[in-house]
Amino acid sequence: MNRKYFGTDGIRGRVGQSPITADFVLRLAHAVGRVLKRTEDKPTVLIGKDTRISGYMLESALESGFNSAGVNVVLLGPLPTPGVAYLTRAQRASLGVVISASHNPFDDNGIKFFSAQGSKLSDAWELDVEAVLDEAPVWADSANLGKTKRLDDAAGRYIEFCKSTFSNELTLKGLKIVVDAAHGAAYHIAPKVFHELGAEVIAIGCAPDGLNINHEVGATHPDALVRAVRANKADYGIALDGDADRLQLVDVSGRLFNGDELLYLMVDDRLRQGEKIQGVVGTLMTNMAVELALQKRGIAFVRSKVGDRYVLEELEKQQWILGGEGSGHLLALDKHTTGDGLVSALQVLQTCVRSGRSMDELLSDVTLFPQTLINVRLRPDQKWQDNPRLHEESKKVEAELGQTGRVLIRASGTEPLVRVMVEARDQHQAESGARRIAATLQ
């Protein structure tokens, strides 16, 4: 069955337009509360948010919806998505809720959920919630309404958790690090994590005003980080997105490393410590060079659908611990139950500090294949899957690439876009192939 509201990462859209309206979000929380009450008499949910101005409105709507179904609420305030996942598990809550549209502009927002174990919920659970949304509400009577309280030290608890994932034998002393929190949920957390581990921290993108989240800063706009690293002669630069679950990293030269390279570095550190890594999960977008480099070291590699939830599902299926996406969503399941930009950054820095080598040196055997990605915006009535020119041109490009590249065409799970990606050993071939395929949709 197709989901009506849920995409690849919760429910997301433009604020004030369906489904991101106060009345719908209230009904959503009420429906989720009713699903929770099937197995628990008095559930408790935690609610965290990023720094968008609409977070106040949506937080109030969620609170009312849950309380009306007889569910207790704990408000965490601004907190990274992985921080909500961690506290949901640590506080033995029934569910974690995040109000965020991740890397999107401020006038978008969204709602996503975590299980009691701090992991993403299944498609089946989301379908169950959507079925209850279609039913009439069942309001709790006055004596059985839920209550709400605030967890005042949520940020401090999460800071200590992040620090605990970095080796006790190592320190960041002597390193100068630029930290860019995208004016998002980690603005008051990320600088403290690296400072308390010994680094000299230069903070940018840490002054949210409700309207500037992800605006020309953060993981989706890394130019600001590159400039700051060079201007301050810093050793590293770390950029997070609005909800701090994805990561971009820059070295002293200003070179930007993507998530595929950072995943390889996390694997490399484990291997250097004598750990046995049976396999790694990437996605359909993961660069072929990383796949080949891992296979050369005897490590199996499996691709999932795009989206960190699908990487997680495949990791659990394979019973492996390391996986991620080129966008910077990285998973280390022996450290956290979900992707965490801060934890991932610490894992990569740990690799460099422990080895005494730079990221560039550690990646000497990995030369990324050029990839060209073109996003084609769809008309509301456009049925791109039925386009014969698209299929014909895709087959032509694939035949030209042979075994030296790939073609990937997929719909965005969060926006009305089709993403066309062509990967090849030759940059010109990748660009030409992607343009030819995208032209059939425009």
Strands 176-180, 200-204: pairing is: parallel
Query: What size, in residues, is the chain?
Result: 442
CA distance 313 to 8: 13
Rounded alpha-carbon distances, angstroms, from residue 222 to 245, 255, 347, 421: 15, 10, 20, 21
Q: Is 286 within 8 Å of 292 (Cβ atoms)?
A: no
Set 102, 115, 304, 327: catalytic member: 102
The helices-and-strands tally (H runs, E runs) of the chain is 14, 18
Name the phi and psi angles at 68, rounded to 5. Answer: -65, -20
Strand partners, 109: 13
CA neighbor of 234 nearest in space, from 257, 210, 255, 251: 251
CA distance 271 to 338: 22
Helices (DSSP H) in 104-164: which residue ranges?
123-133, 154-164
**Which residues contact residue 61 at a Cβ distance below 8 angstroms, ignoring those fewer than 6 apart?**
22, 23, 25, 26, 29
CA distance 196 to 187: 15
**Which residue has 């192939």 as its token pair?**
433
- For the record, the structure tokens of 186 come out as 């980690």
Helix (H) or strand (E) holding 253: none
Q: Is 166 within 8 Å of 350 (Cβ atoms)?
A: yes
* Active-site residue, 102 included: yes
Within a 10 A sphere around the Cβ of 380, how many other Cβ atoms? 5
Rounded alpha-carbon distances, angstroms, from residue 76 to 25, 48, 86, 113, 416: 18, 5, 12, 14, 32
CA neighbor of 248 nearest in space, from 359, 364, 119, 105: 359
Strand partners, 239: 180, 248
SS3 100: coil
CA neighbor of 57 nearest in space, from 23, 83, 82, 84: 23
Active-site residue list: 102
